[in-house]
A and B are shown apart, each in its own frame.
Chain A
């Protein structure tokens, strides 16, 4: 039995005629069922929770209220969905609700941290002397019009600067050793570096304290704190730099060798420039981490009140250390200063982050 197949040949539309209309359709998207069952469940569960939680059971605590509300909401949402949808859709919606709630919780906690800090520090921040004075001669109870955190800001800069000068070459050099030279030694170095990333910060401070300060007899100083910070920073920079170098395609290295370059020139002229943006990002993130470290600084440099530019002698204060002492002082005014300093610290970390992100974006657009 034969089947006759239709034959067709494409007819191109006439060259001088109008173009045939061809617009894409919208596909997917939310249905009314999606929107209304979500909104209805949210409202209904809120009312139910208020009724049961506050009136009937008389429990207290906002945190608890929110938790109970979510549980009731989930139950109600599942019930509503099951009226018109099969089981896998119910599970899918519940999962969505749970995942979104989890992420929202984390987001709210983060926002709450930042907002709380800013709200409590805003008073101190509006005084110009906060940025230009140090705390020398200022009693803890003195009003906010006196004293400032200049010494802490300067101290943080100097310490992090010292740490960067030490950890950048060590970190990048180690990364180059691991990725470009390789060999068995490289594997050992890599293992140790990875292990050291998780080193508790207080132990870095202890190590520097016992070696530099006790054994070699130097004082607690900005330099010692810088060294402790370098111990924290180096493994982080080394690991991030290693990742960035490894991402550079092997074909580029081969092309360099095939042109007659030595390995050094290949690394210097091709690999590092290609990874430059990533390496800069790694450095900036390392600095952001170091500037917020309190524990190593606590042990290796004292919390002074006066402005000190010399890292080699005299205690040197820093932002995190200032905040710690301010918060523990028990004096409301001093605590406000502490929160103000915390906002400054957050601002510095945020600025570094924005810089790192802009660098990363720059690289993408090339």
Chain B
């Protein structure tokens, strides 16, 4: 038996450098790689061009109106007074109401499914949340308009009665009158926001629940072993772990709320001024503006609408990218779903 003598096996000592290896892609593989690569790039180009395209279409509008397009509140094409200031404010108001309502509800629902629900119900509840997300926005819009509004207007009145000193809740009518003007409390950003919340809740909830489910079992067990109650485990392990998912999920919902069209279209009464109050009748959002005015727009008005669309595109893109950063940066890394 010998200790293998390396040097003697080779004619002369070789330089120890890596050699270049042909990966050995067969022809079949070259075709495969080429095809999917072209599909990928095709998709990249088509989608990348949407933004570029909208931007290009907004050049005529910006060159005509200049910066005032962003500061003008009225939308009167006949009078050449066109601007999206009021519309953008309205968009954010609706989205804000939606987030304020949906964040706590989505969080509570996600916690319920992940921490409190009986084991055999869990997958059904998860499917139910996904189903809620799949219900078309027009159904929520119809429900919001014909049903929710009738009940929520009382809440709106209560808000203006007792919190009316906050500008958000003030309405230009007397809420304490015996025959109070009900129509002043309908068709507002508040009602629309509630309907939009029905769409953002399942979206945010799915992300949050997915994150909570990944909270490390080891940490949970450590907390329980120290004598923590269920809420104690949630507070010390699940919520800190899920922080990124909570924020990310909410921002994803925010992105959706900013772009929601049909439910808003069905509920609100268009009004083009910047107002603080969200419970008062009358507002307008970007997507509702485009959908509503699109039918009768001349080509120049169409350009104005496209410009509004471009602004909306940029806003939602930024919001979604921030959301992705939060979701990606959390300890849970890549959470997916929905």
Question: A285-B134, A294-B137, A320-B136 in contact; A64/B229 too (CB < 8 A)?
Answer: no
CB pair B232–A243 under 8 Å, yes or no, is no
Segment 93-142 of B: residues with Cβ below 8 Å from A = 104-109, 111-113, 115-116, 127-128, 130-132, 134-140, 142
Binds A, one of B40-48, B82-90, B216-224: B40-48
Q: Counting CB contacts under 8 A, is A299 at the interface? A: yes
Chain A interface residue number, banded: 35 or more
CB pair A178–B40 under 8 Å, yes or no, is yes
Q: In the complex the two chains form, what is the Cα distance from A61 to B312 in whole Å?
A: 37
CB pair B316–A199 under 8 Å, yes or no, is yes
Question: A185-B40, A198-B252, A234-B43 in contact; A117/B28 too (CB < 8 A)?
Answer: no
Q: Counting CB contacts under 8 A, is A219 at the interface? A: no
Name the residue among A60, A61, A243, A288 with the largest chain B CB count within 10 angstroms: A61
Question: A295-B261, A328-B266 in contact; A192/B32 too (CB < 8 A)?
Answer: no
Which residues of chain A are near B132, meaning CB under 8 Å?
Answer: 106, 110
CB pair B146–A102 under 8 Å, yes or no, is no
CB pair A177–B136 under 8 Å, yes or no, is no
Measured between C-beta atoms, what is the minimum distance from B238 to chain A in Å?
12
Q: CB < 8 Å: which of B43, B142, B259 contacts A338? A: B142
Count chain B residues whose beta carbon lies closer than 8 angstroms to a beta carbon of A.
92
Which residues of chain A are near B145, meaning CB under 8 Å?
Answer: 327
Measured between C-beta atoms, what is the minimum distance from B236 to chain A in Å?
12
Binds B, one of A42-50, A88-96, A137-145, A307-315: A88-96
Q: In the complex the two chains form, what is the Cα distance from A323 to B137 in whole Å?
A: 11
Which residues of chain B are near A235, meaning CB under 8 Å?
Answer: 47
* Nearest B residue (CB) for A172: B39
Q: In the complex the two chains form, what is the Cα distance from A338 to B43 in whole Å?
A: 36
Which residues of chain A are near B111, meaning CB under 8 Å?
Answer: 99, 102
Which residues of chain A are near B256, meaning CB under 8 Å?
Answer: 198
Measured between C-beta atoms, what is the minimum distance from B205 to chain A in Å?
8
Q: In the complex the two chains form, what is the Cα distance from A106 to B255 in whole Å?
A: 20
Which residues of chain A are near B53, meaning CB under 8 Å?
Answer: 207, 210-211
Q: CB < 8 Å: which of B155, B198, B201, B319 contacts A61? A: B155
* Nearest A residue (CB) for B233: A92
Name the residue among A99, A181, A188 with the largest chain B CB count within 10 angstroms: A99
Which residues of chain B are near A350, meaning CB under 8 Å?
Answer: 131
Which residues of chain A are near B312, meaning CB under 8 Å?
Answer: 200, 203
Q: In the complex the two chains form, what is the Cα distance from A18 to B36 in whole Å?
A: 68
18 sample A-B contacts, Cβ–Cβ < 8 Å, listed by A number:
A91-B231, A95-B234, A116-B143, A116-B146, A170-B43, A173-B36, A195-B47, A195-B320, A198-B317, A202-B287, A210-B53, A231-B47, A239-B336, A295-B261, A323-B138, A324-B265, A342-B142, A346-B135
18 more A-B residue pairs beyond the given contacts A117-B139, A210-B57, A299-B291, with a C-beta to C-beta distance below 8 A:
A64-B154, A92-B232, A116-B147, A178-B40, A181-B36, A192-B43, A192-B48, A196-B50, A200-B258, A203-B50, A207-B50, A262-B26, A263-B29, A291-B136, A294-B262, A295-B291, A349-B131, A349-B135
- A residues whose Cβ falls under 8 Å from a Cβ of B: 59-64, 67, 88-89, 91-92, 95-96, 98-103, 105-107, 109-110, 112-114, 116-117, 120, 169-170, 173-174, 176-178, 180-181, 185-186, 188-189, 192-204, 206-207, 210-211, 231, 234-235, 238-239, 243, 262-265, 267, 285, 288-289, 291-295, 298-299, 320, 323-324, 327-328, 338-339, 342, 345-346, 349-350, 352-353, 357
